[in-house]
Structure 1
Amino acid sequence: MFARLCLIGVGLIGGSVAKAARQQGLCREIVGYGRAQDAANLQRAQQLGVIDSYFTDLGAALSAADCVVIASPVGAVSGIFKQLQPYWNPQTVYTDVCSTKTSVVQAAQAVFGAVPVNFVPAHPIAGAECSGVEAATADLFRQRRLIITPLDNTDPRCLDTIQRFWEAIGSSVSLMGVEHHDTVLAATSHLPHLLAFALVGLLGHKDEQREIFKYAAGGFKDFSRIASSDPTMWLDICQANKQEIIPLIQQYQAELAKIEHYLHTDQTEQLFATFTYARNARQRYLDQLED
Structure 2
Amino acid sequence: MIVSHVAIVGLGLIGGSLARALRACGAVAHISGYDPDSSQRETAQRLGIIDQVCTTPADAVRGADVVVLAVPVLRTAEALAGCLPARRADAVVTDVGSTKQSVLDDVARICGSVPAWFVAAHPIAGTEKSGIAHAQAELFHRRRVILTPHEGQDPAARSLVMRLWQAAGARVVEMDARRHDAIFAATSHLPHVLAYGFVDMLAGLDRDHDIFPNAGGGFRDFTRIASSSPQMWHDIIRANADAVGDLLDRQIDALLQIRAMMREGRWDALKALFQRARDARERYLAQIE
Using the size of structure 2 for normalisation, the TM-score is: 0.96
Match of 2:173 in 1: 174
1:274 matched to 2:273: yes
1:212 matched to 2:211: yes
Task: Please tell me whether the aligned partners of residues 96 and 120 of structure 1 are also in contact (alpha carbons under 8 angstroms).
Answer: yes
* Structure 2, gaps ≥5 residues long: none
Q: Any idea what the Cα deviations from partners look like across 1:197-237, whole Å, max 9, x if unmatched?
A: 01111111222325111111101100010000011111111
Match of 1:5 in 2: 6
Amino-acid identity (%): 42
Q: Pairwise mapping of residues 5-84 of structure 1 onto structure 2 (< 5 A)?
A: 5-35=6-36, 38-84=37-83
2:206 aligns to what SS in structure 1?
helix
Match of 1:104 in 2: 103
2:208 aligns to what SS in structure 1?
helix
Amino acid of the structure 2 residue aligned with 1:21: L
1:4 aligns to what SS in structure 2?
strand
Amino acid of the structure 1 residue aligned with 2:207: E
1:251 matched to 2:250: yes
Q: Pairwise mapping of residues 145-160 of structure 1 onto structure 2 (< 5 A)?
A: 145-160=144-159
Using the size of structure 1 for normalisation, the TM-score is: 0.96
Q: Note the C-alpha offset of 1:51.
A: 0.5
Distance 2:169 2:207 in 1: 44
Match of 1:124 in 2: 123
Task: Please tell me whether the aligned partners of residues 42 and 54 of structure 1 are also in contact (alpha carbons under 8 angstroms).
Answer: yes
Distance 1:103 1:42 in 2: 27
Q: Any idea what the Cα deviations from partners look like across 1:221-274, whole Å, max 9, x if unmatched?
A: 000100000111111111111011000000000100111111111112211111
Distance 2:209 2:97 in 1: 39
Number of residues of Structure 1 aligned to a counterpart in Structure 2:
288
Q: Any idea what the Cα deviations from partners look like across 1:106-161, whole Å, max 9, x if unmatched?
A: 11111111111011000011111111111110011111111110112110011111
Task: Please tell me whether the aligned partners of residues 128 and 224 of structure 2 are also in contact (alpha carbons under 8 angstroms).
Answer: yes
* Structure 1, gaps ≥5 residues long: none
Task: Please tell me whether the aligned partners of residues 59 and 86 of structure 2 are also in contact (alpha carbons under 8 angstroms).
Answer: no
Q: Write out the 4+ residue segments of structure 1 that deviate beyond 2 Å after TM superposition.
A: 57-60, 84-90
1:3 aligns to what SS in structure 2?
strand
Amino acid of the structure 1 residue aligned with 2:98: S
CA RMSD of aligned residues (A): 1.2
Task: Please tell me whether the aligned partners of residues 85 and 112 of structure 1 are also in contact (alpha carbons under 8 angstroms).
Answer: no
